[in-house]
Structure 1
């Protein structure tokens, strides 16, 4: 089974708290049945949490506060990029280009997921990010990754022109690929 760092769990719970209040956080966690203990156990940002608990949390948040199609996961991914970026890295993002920053996606991926491999390749006016061999792909992950990538480009000071998933394992692709087009600062 794949795992995700608890920092992703904590960011999603923080989004619920900021936008809907602490009582709604408790409601969301309480609705997770067998995943409740794993989600409550995400106290330290460095713990590994089962990926199915992450999926359950995203699905429940989208069911309660979105429209039930998991599109809110893209918003949650953007929020996670924003709140999980330490001040030290913010400085680095301000002096590095988005293309350079996204060239480090492999290291970022392995710090947050214990399954799969991420890579990047530059294309005219942007970059392609490819995620291969993830053990249990799920739509909430794809949308979260896309949102995280969008916000990463924005934090790096670029003007985001387009961001989309161009291939997905859930739709007969051999990997998940995301294309981001942007204007460098």
Structure 2
């Protein structure tokens, strides 16, 4: 749809250069039917060619279809229903609500918003095999750039803007604005999207404990991690916030098949400790050590973890092989510095956890909320850390952590 509101004609498009799943077509159908009525949907279809009508009528939500079929469908809807930007954004939000099922929403609550923003292209690839996203955050300002999408259609971009906005809302934030500042359909090299997102904190939000019914969805989410560092971050967060583990260590097989610590979080306590050797084809790819809280529901947690571990092993191996990483895996920079800090300062697990959050830029209030402790207790830990490392203030401690360790 052009800036002046005049819709493009719904004509047969170019040869396929990309595909999207059929559920995208179903979602647009349901939006039109619920918003305008069944007769309106029939009127939209009447503007399509007979070939397109036949394809739409036989769509399988799990199969993939030419992305230009959806483009022609959107163009026909704009022509028949006089869709403006507001309605197109509503269509995008509707698509997000339908596509982000209960499990996906649960997982969005689990991951850090900053992680999802950095890896936006990872999620895009689940429903598009064309186009590449690059996204970044500067304070509350979130910007995203879409390159090389097979579609060059402003109406389609506006639906993406609505989808993006709704997805960001699922992180618990509030959107102050949504803008599509540059569009390829208007001669720009790429499409640029911007929004102002107010988040309470860049932290996961605890939810219900996973069950065996969630294993396939969890496995799929973990397998999509772009590299081992991202996978370990997601795994540690999953175990701490959803399974209720008080302490987690993730080791991976690195150079010369030696185990290297790549993720650590929490503090050992009176819970029940578990160790899992992560294997693929009889070869160890990592090790997971954790502590479960004691209670009547522990047996169920043990069963879920036991079934999940083979998928974790595969995801760990895939993150190395399929992401073109070297065969050896170095510790993440954060994990390496934390290990060094623990050795130098002889830190307790709690002190190490506080140091990690201080290094991430968290305030005492935020750290207290994450750890479930009082601000006074956190302040004592921070004071002890300053003394151990000879830093005069918090900024000096952070600078020392990232510069000297």
TM-score (norm 1): 0.87
Counterpart mapping for 1:27-176 below 5 A: 27-33=43-49, 34-44=51-61, 46-67=62-83, 69=84, 72-176=87-191
Q: Is the 8 A contact 1:28 1:60 kept in 2?
A: yes
What is the match of residue 18 of structure 1? Answer: 34
Q: Is the 8 A contact 2:132 2:146 kept in 1?
A: yes
Moved beyond 6 Å, runs of 4+? none
- Number of matched pairs: 183
Q: Structure 2, unaligned stretches of length 5 or more?
A: 1-16, 201-405
Per the TM alignment, residue 111 of structure 1 is displaced from its structure 2 partner at its CA by: 1.7
Give the one of 177, 180, 185 matched to 2:195.
180
By relative contact order (CA 8 Å, sep 6+), the higher-ranking structure is 1
Per the TM alignment, residue 5 of structure 1 is displaced from its structure 2 partner at its CA by: 1.9
SS in 1 for 2:126: helix
Segment of structure 1 superposing worse, 141-150 or 130-139: 130-139
CA distance in 2, matches of 1:115, 1:122: 23
- CA RMSD after TM alignment: 2.0
TM-score (norm 2): 0.42
Q: Structure 1, unaligned stretches of length 5 or more?
A: none
* CA displacement 1:105-131 (0-9 Å, x = unmatched): 212212222211112111221321111
Segment of structure 1 superposing worse, 148-157 or 88-97: 88-97
CA distance in 2, matches of 1:126, 1:91: 24
Largest Rg, 1 or 2:
2
